[in-house]
Structure 1
Amino acid sequence: MKKRSFLAAGVTAVAAVTLCSSPAFAGDKLMYTANGGGTLGFVANGDTFTVCDRKADGYSPVMEGIAEGHKFSFGEDGGVYNCNSYKRNIREGAKITMRVCLEKRYNGPKHYCSAWESTKA
Structure 2
Amino acid sequence: MLFLTWEKAVSMLKGDAAAINMVGSERMRSFKIALLAERYAEGVEQDSGAKIRAKAAFDEEMAVFEDVLFGLRDGSQQYNLKKQDSPEIINKLNQNIDKWNKTIKPMLQNIVSVPTGKELTKALKG
The normalised TM-score by structure 2 is: 0.25
Higher relative helix content: 2
The normalised TM-score by structure 1 is: 0.26
Higher relative strand content: 1
Q: Which has the higher contact order (CA 8 A, sep 6+)?
A: 2
